[in-house]
């Protein structure tokens, strides 16, 4: 029986389907090796379904096999559509369609598989599925969908060709030889055509993202320069806030923006007071009908307001210390004062708290008043960056003004120290998959060391950064500000550690003097796959102790210090780790800690200390290492800053 079926297959024209499938598998594999694997998962699944379908059809030549596989391919496309749209909810309509289709397939197989008319109803069901998907995808626009460009580019191929192919099945059934010799192989090329469209759009998006990041960094650097010039010119706070809100509004193409600062009213209650506005800012607050008739009247009335916390969406933002992004205001009760088609109308709204040292200084907000444009996630990220840097600037300016008033001779050192305090993490991120500990102390005055810890991908990744900036005082601290701003801006969007270093280097090189270079290392840890991606810019190598092999490993990659040459490229390596492994990053002050005899503590001593205490927690490992250094130096004065980070992999 089996031999007869195989003989029948190889003497029939149906072998062309397998030839086409093998060709497509080779093409997709080749494209994957050259372009990267992540974006080809959908096509791997489709090819798997098609290969399985044709293999089963050899032994079970029923229309049900083809219909069922087409339904599975539809659901793969539907899952991809939900992913691109950013929606995780199951589609009930599609589920109902598939439920009816499944019931039909079972009935058709058990009772009526010999009747071609029933098989044609299967083609009708598949066409209905794709017509529904067409309705969903053609409702997509760049204003209501996160990854709209990819959907807009591929939807025609994804929808029209399946409907055409299933129309042939509807007309001629699934059994004619020419269907298996021509129509089905043609449908396979449809998936490859979609892959090509998807790949072209993906490459365009990658280029656009690179251009976006380049423009973003330039914008932030220009913003920093303008704020720096304002401070140097001794502008007052209102003028600086006007510079901030103007830059934020122009960068996001907003119709208007405002900055409100927290004050106390006559009864000591916290209120928001408008301090700077730009463009046409229509606040989400109640206004009288007379005021709402003129934009100037709206602005004057708003500027005289004092908004108690947590009243209105602005007060809520300041009270909760959480940013608020209302992409479409029409369905949000908090924007009820801005729904009407009058001078108060707002189509899209963002408010971000300005927070320093866990204290709310105020709120920065932007609005869009045009129906044909809404704020994007990039606009939201931009405003968060502006708010973060504004908080640092305001806090530093307050400190600067206070020092001028007191006429302190050491004001520069204190300002730089305050800047650095605002830069370092307020608390160590807590993740169940790893233990983290950090220590940093200046040898004298202001430290030139900087470290950071950034949870990424909702806790699925952790980024660690350590750098040693040449020089001291405010200039070195401002280099740290630029580094921190760029890292926080691109770390979540840019997956490659080498590219993050490259963006930081491009942002620093040419912007600061050659004396302000920095050695730096940057790594990301994938908590699901136990993988570390690491890049180095002339800093100390990464040290890893592996207790299972009782071995110390060090890792390094090529690259010049940050800020020397704008064209410098940086290497990267991927390192597999396992539970129990201990990683260590440090600056010169740790391994070069010196005793009274002029002897250095050394990197070997660091490794031996970690090896002895590897069974302990990250905090204990760090504490015991610092105790050993203190014992070694025996009170001898140190001339270099000391910064140390320990990360222990946990199950």
Residue 113 has pLDDT above 50, yes or no: no
Average pLDDT over residues 339-362: 86
Q: What secondary structure does DSSP assign to 66-130, as a single string?
A: HHHHHHHHHHHHHHHHHHHHT--S--HHHHHHHHHHHHHHHHIIIIITT-HHHHHHHHHHHHHHH
Strand partners, 368: 348
Q: 102-111, 132-141, 318-327: which has the minimum mean pLDDT?
A: 102-111
* Cα gap 365→353, rounded to integer Å: 9
Whole-angstrom distance, CA of residue 369 vs CA of residue 330:
12
Q: Which of 202, 207, 247, 211 has its CA nearest to residue 228?
A: 247
pLDDT (0 to 100) of residue 274 = 92
Max mean pLDDT among 131-135, 382-386, 613-617 falls in 613-617
Q: What is the pLDDT of residue 427?
A: 80
Q: How confident is the model at residue 553 (pLDDT cuts 50, 70, 90)?
A: very high
- Rounded CA separation 564/541 (Å): 20
At residue 408, the pLDDT reads: 47
* Confidence category of residue 118, pLDDT binned at 50, 70, 90: low
Asked if residue 189 lies in contact with residue 17, where contact means CB atoms within 8 angstroms, the answer is no
Residue environment code for 142-167, b if the CB has 16+ CB neighbours within 10 A, otherwise e: ebebebbbbbbbbbebbbebbbebbe
CA distance 314 to 283: 9
pLDDT at 357 over 90: no
Using 50, 70 and 90 to split pLDDT, how confident is the model at 226?
A: low
pLDDT tens track for 55-106: 887 777 777 788 888 888 888 878 777 776 655 455 666 566 556 655 665 5
**407 burial type by CB count under 10 A (0-12 exposed, 13-18 middle, 19+ buried):** exposed
pLDDT at 88: 47
Q: What pLDDT shows up at residue 29?
A: 72
Average pLDDT, rounded, for the chain: 79
pLDDT of 611? 94
Q: How confident is the model at residue 582 (pLDDT cuts 50, 70, 90)?
A: very high
Round to the nearest angstrom and report the end-to-end CA distance of the chain: 53
d(CA 424, CA 487): 13
Q: What's the confidence (pLDDT) of residue 271? A: 92
Question: Which of 92-106, 211-225, 300-314 has the highest average model confidence (pLDDT)?
Answer: 300-314
- Is the pLDDT at 161 greater than 90? The verdict is no
Looking at residue 255, its pLDDT comes to 92
| Residue 502 predicted with pLDDT over 70 | yes
**How would CATH label the architecture of 254-375?**
2-Layer Sandwich (3.30)
Answer whether residue 222 shows pLDDT above 60.
yes
580 pLDDT band, cuts 50/70/90, is: very high
Give the mean model confidence (pLDDT) for residues 43-63.
79
Residue 228 CA, chain-centre distance (Å), reads: 28
Highest mean pLDDT: which of 36-40, 153-157, 315-319, 424-428? 315-319
Kindly report, residue by residue over 189-205, the tens digit of the pLDDT: 777 777 677 766 666 66
What is the pLDDT, as a whole number, of residue 67?
80
pLDDT class of 430 with cuts at 50, 70, 90:
confident
pLDDT, position 419? 60
- In whole angstroms, how far apart are CA 474 and each of 158, 226, 228, 439, 479? 57, 17, 12, 22, 9
| pLDDT greater than 50 at residue 4 | yes
Pick the CATH number of 427-471+515-649 from 3.20.20.70, 3.40.50.300, 3.60.40.10, 3.30.420.310: 3.60.40.10
Report field, pTM of the whole predicted structure over 0.85? no
Q: Is the pLDDT of residue 617 over 90?
A: yes
Predicted confidence band at 583 (pLDDT cuts at 50, 70, 90)? very high
pLDDT-derived band at 551, boundaries 50, 70, 90: very high
Higher pLDDT, 155 or 469: 469
Higher pLDDT, 476 or 356: 356
Candidate from 111-120, 357-366, 486-495, 531-540 with smallest mean pLDDT: 111-120
């Amino acid at each position: 029986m089996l031999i007869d079926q195989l003989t029948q297959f190889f003497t029939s024209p149906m072998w062309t389907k397998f030839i086409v499938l093998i060709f497509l598998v080779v093409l997709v594999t080749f494209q994957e090796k050259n372009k990267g694997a992540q974006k080809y998962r959908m096509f791997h699944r489709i090819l798997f379904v098609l290969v399985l379908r044709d293999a089963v059809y050899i032994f079970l030549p029923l229309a049900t096999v083809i219909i069922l596989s087409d339904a599975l391919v539809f659901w793969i496309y539907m899952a991809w559509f939900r992913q691109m749209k950013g929606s995780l909810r199951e589609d009930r309509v599609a589920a109902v369609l598939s439920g009816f289709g499944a019931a039909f397939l079972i009935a058709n197989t058990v009772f009526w598989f010999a009747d071609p008319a029933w098989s044609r109803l299967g083609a009708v069901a598949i066409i209905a599925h794709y017509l529904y998907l067409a309705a969903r995808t053609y409702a997509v626009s760049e204003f209501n969908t996160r990854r709209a460009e990819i959907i807009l580019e591929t939807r025609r191929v994804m929808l029209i060709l399946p409907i055409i192919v299933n129309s042939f099945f509807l007309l001629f059934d699934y059994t004619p030889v020419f269907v298996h010799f021509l129509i089905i192989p043609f449908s396979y090329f449809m998936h490859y055509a979609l892959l090509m469209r998807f790949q072209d759009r993906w490459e365009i998006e990658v280029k656009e993202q690179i251009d976006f990041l380049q423009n973003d960094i330039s914008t932030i650097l220009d913003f920093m320069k303008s704020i720096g010039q304002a401070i140097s010119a001794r502008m007052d706070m209102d003028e600086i806030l006007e510079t901030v809100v103007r830059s934020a509004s122009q960068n996001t193409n907003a119709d208007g923006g405002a900055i409100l600062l927290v004050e106390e009213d006559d009864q000591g209650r916290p209120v928001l007071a408008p301090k700077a506005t730009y463009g046409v800012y229509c606040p989400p607050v109640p206004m009288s009908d007379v005021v709402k008739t003129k934009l100037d009247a709206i602005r004057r009335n708003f500027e005289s307001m004092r908004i108690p916390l947590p009243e209105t969406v602005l007060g809520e933002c300041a009270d909760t210390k959480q940013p608020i992004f209302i992409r479409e205001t029409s369905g949000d009760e908090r924007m009820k004062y801005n729904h009407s088609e009058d001078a108060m109308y707002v189509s899209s709204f963002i408010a971000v708290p300005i927070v320093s040292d866990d204290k709310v200084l105020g709120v920065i907000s932007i609005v869009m008043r045009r129906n044909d444009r809404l704020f994007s996630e990039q606009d939201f990220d931009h405003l968060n960056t502006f708010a973060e840097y504004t908080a640092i600037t305001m806090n530093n300016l307050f400190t600067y003004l206070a020092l001028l008033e007191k006429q302190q001779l050491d004001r520069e050192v204190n300002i730089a120290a305050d800047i650095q305090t605002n830069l370092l993490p307020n608390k160590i991120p807590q993740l169940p998959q790893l233990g983290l500990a950090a220590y940093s102390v200046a040898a004298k005055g202001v430290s030139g060391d900087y470290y950071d810890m950034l949870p990424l991908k909702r806790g699925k990744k952790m980024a660690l950064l350590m750098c040693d900036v040449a020089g001291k005082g405010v200039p070195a601290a401002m280099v740290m500000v630029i580094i921190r701003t760029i890292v926080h801006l691109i770390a979540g969007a840019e997956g490659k550690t080498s590219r993050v270093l490259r963006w930081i280097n491009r942002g620093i090189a040419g912007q600061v003097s050659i004396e302000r270079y920095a050695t730096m290392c940057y790594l990301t840890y994938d908590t699901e796959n136990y993988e570390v991606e690491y890049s180095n810019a002339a800093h100390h190598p990464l040290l890893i102790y592996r207790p299972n092999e009782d071995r110390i490993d060090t890792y390094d990659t090529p690259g010049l210090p940050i800020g020397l040459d704008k064209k410098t490229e940086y290497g990267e390596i991927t390192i597999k780790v396992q539970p129990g492994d201990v990683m260590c990053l440090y600056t010169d002050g740790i391994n070069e800690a010196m005793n009274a005899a002029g002897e250095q503590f050394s990197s070997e001593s660091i490794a031996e200390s970690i090896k002895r205490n590897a069974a302990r927690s990250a905090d204990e490992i760090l504490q015991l290492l610092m105790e050993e250094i203190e014992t070694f130096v025996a009170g001898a004065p140190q001339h270099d800053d000391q910064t140390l980070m320990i990360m222990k992999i946990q199950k």
